[in-house]
Amino acid sequence: MTPTAPSAEAFQPKDYKSDLKPIWCPGCGDYGVVQAIYRALAAIGRPPHEIAFISGIGCSSRIPGYTSAYGFNSVHGRALPIAQGIKIARPDLLVLAAGGDGDGFSIGGNHVPHTIRRNLDLTYIVMDNQIYGLTKGQLSPTSPRGRETVTSAYGSMEAPVNPLLYVLAFGAPFVAQGTPADMAGLASIIEEGIRYPGFAFINVESPCVTYGEEDHQLKDHRAAMIPLQSLGHDPSSRIKAMDLAQEYGTKLYTGVFYRNPTPPPTFEALTRERQEKLSAGAPPREKILDLFIQR
Amino acid sequence: MTLRGIDFSKLSLKDALDLAILIEEEAQERYDEFSDQMDIHRTPEAAAFFRTMSGNEQRHGEELRKRRERLFPKEPRTVNRSMIFDIEAPDYDQARAFMTPRQAMQSALRSEEKAHAFFVAALPQIGDAEVRALFGELRDEEVEHQDLVKRAMAKLPPDSGPPPEGFVDDPVAQ
């Protein structure tokens, strides 16, 4: 199927909004995230039927249901393998994957490095609220040490996963972070991630208004966020990006941490290349068995 | 509240009207979202108020659209939604489950104040006299909208707080 040539003004954000009304708690950061996704998709201009949106399980994983696109709210931690399968089968589709920090870095954690090294052209948006919100407030892999919850009354004893360092260390070619406290910035990095020719990772600090920390809500993000552009950060350096990423949890940097200036070949491109190369010397079907017969 | 790619010094009357329409549309959609959220979370009074606000924004938008149609019929729009974020639309974290009508009105009042601040900040940058007149008018209307909300708030009884049976666990930010 030949994808429709994108047209920036052909679609409005509301064209990507489904009829399902979100059941998230009022005040949830995810409302801003889904709005930013609608804005990014409108800016890109692909029609809804050329978009596939895959998620795992959690509050944030409801997003495909609220988006007018092919949506697959799959099983816990498995958005990425399914998204990759869809992209391999249908490289013409614009593929997005989404989920929470638990979905992505606990049960789904081992899919992340392999998705990165495979480098399919898809965008993974993680709504990082440092808690398992859907199940009413348990520690997640990004919860800070000492964080108390109903099921961890004495506080977390574990160091949190740093999602930014994690993906940078495994070689992700595009890494960014945003917050719904800066809607324009968030829509912009989502758009940029989608446009990037390869795997793009976007960590969104999207606070849980019910089970999150009282002093880590959107009003606190507004005060605390530091745009990377304001620091004069050069996103072409992975080492500089990792240096800044180490401050995850203490500083809220927003913007593009890393963008590989020479995007590595995508898995789809390499597959096509190999197929063309192998089919050039391929025998006709009736002679295939000769390959296995010793003469 | 964010603007992208708008040069007020060069803003034409057509683009200014389109911008004002987009601002009203964004606010209307946000109030619709808020009223849906309140319905789903069994907060009917706040839902009803947000629905009223949505109707107000729709009316304001319609008035601007008619004016635009009269002055610039059939001329295509060159400004778009990606240029504005939350100018008059309440920020998403303004909504809360079980919010009282007073809290809902306070969020609307903050949004009208935000919109007023936008027009006040834009005015000194505007080059075109007609655009300046339009923005002055819109600025003054925001003051009227604020007064409407304040009058409605004055009629409310004092808040008694959210119902205790509304929460299983004490919510951190609700």
Strand ordering across the sheet containing A253-259: A70-73, A51-55, A94-100, A122-128, A200-205, A174-178, A253-259, A226-227
Identify whether B42 is part of a domain. yes
> Under an 8 A CB cutoff, do A187 and B82 touch?
yes
The CA dihedral of B161, B167, B171, B173, to the nearest 10 degrees, is: -40
Identify whether B88 is part of a domain. no
Token pair belonging to A225: 């966020």
Q: Which domains does chain A have, with CATH numbers?
A: 13-263 (3.40.50.970)
- Residue B72 pLDDT level (bands cut at 50, 70, 90): very high
> Under an 8 A CB cutoff, do B173 and A217 touch?
yes
Identify whether B132 is part of a domain. yes
Residue B45 at interface with chain A, using a CB cutoff of 8 Å: no
> Under an 8 A CB cutoff, do B172 and A214 touch?
yes
Chain A residues lying within 8 Å of B86, measured CB to CB: 183
Q: Counting Cβ atoms within 10 Å, is residue A116 exposed (0-12), middle (13-18) or buried (19+)? A: buried
Give the per-residue pLDDT at B174. Answer: 47
Token pair belonging to A140: 């997640």
Interface test with B, best of A24, A25, A189 (most B CBs within 10 A): A25
ipTM of the complex: 0.89
DSSP calls for B73-135: TTPPP---GGGEESSSSPPGGG--TT--HHHHHHHHHHHHHHHHHHHHHHGGG---HHHHHHH
Query: Which residues, at least 6 apart from A122, have a Cβ–Cβ distance to it below 8 Å?
Result: A83, A84, A87, A95, A96, A97, A115, A199, A200
> Under an 8 A CB cutoff, do B38 and A26 touch?
yes
Identify whether B140 is part of a domain. yes
Identify whether B170 is part of a domain. no
Residue B127 at interface with chain A, using a CB cutoff of 8 Å: no
Evaluate if residue B141 carries a pLDDT over 60: yes
The CA–CA distances, whole Å, from B22 to A200, B55, B82, B85, B88 equal 31, 15, 10, 10, 10
Residue B171 at interface with chain A, using a CB cutoff of 8 Å: yes
Tens of pLDDT, residue by residue over B98-126, are 899 999 999 999 999 999 999 999 999 99
**Using CA atoms, how far apart are residues B8 and B83, in angstroms rounded to an integer?**
12
Number of domains forming the structure of chain B: 1
Give the per-residue pLDDT at B49. Answer: 96
Residues of chain B with pLDDT > 90, as a percent, come to 79
Identify whether B172 is part of a domain. no
The pTM is what?
0.92
Evaluate if residue B3 carries a pLDDT over 80: no
Task: Give CA angle at A279 (A277, A285), nearest 5°.
Answer: 160
- Higher-pLDDT residue of A111 and B6 is A111
Token pair belonging to B149: 């909300």
* Shortest CA gap B82–chain A (Å): 7
Query: Which residues, at least 6 apart from A144, have a Cβ–Cβ distance to it below 8 Å?
Result: A130, A156, A160, A249
Residue B47 at interface with chain A, using a CB cutoff of 8 Å: no
Residue-range definition of the domain harbouring residue B28:
12-77+97-157
Interface test with A, best of B43, B79, B172, B174 (most A CBs within 10 A): B172
Q: Residue B142's domain is classified under what CATH number? A: 1.20.1260.10
Token pair belonging to A113: 């490095």
* Shortest CA gap A19–chain B (Å): 12
* Consecutive 10-residue averages of pLDDT for chain A (295 residues): 55 94 95 97 96 97 97 97 97 97 96 98 98 95 95 96 98 98 96 98 96 92 97 98 97 98 97 92 86 79
Identify whether B86 is part of a domain. no
**Using CA atoms, how far apart are residues A245 and B165, in angstroms rounded to an integer?**
42
Return the axis-axis angle of helices B13-40 and B129-154, rounded to nearest 10°.
20
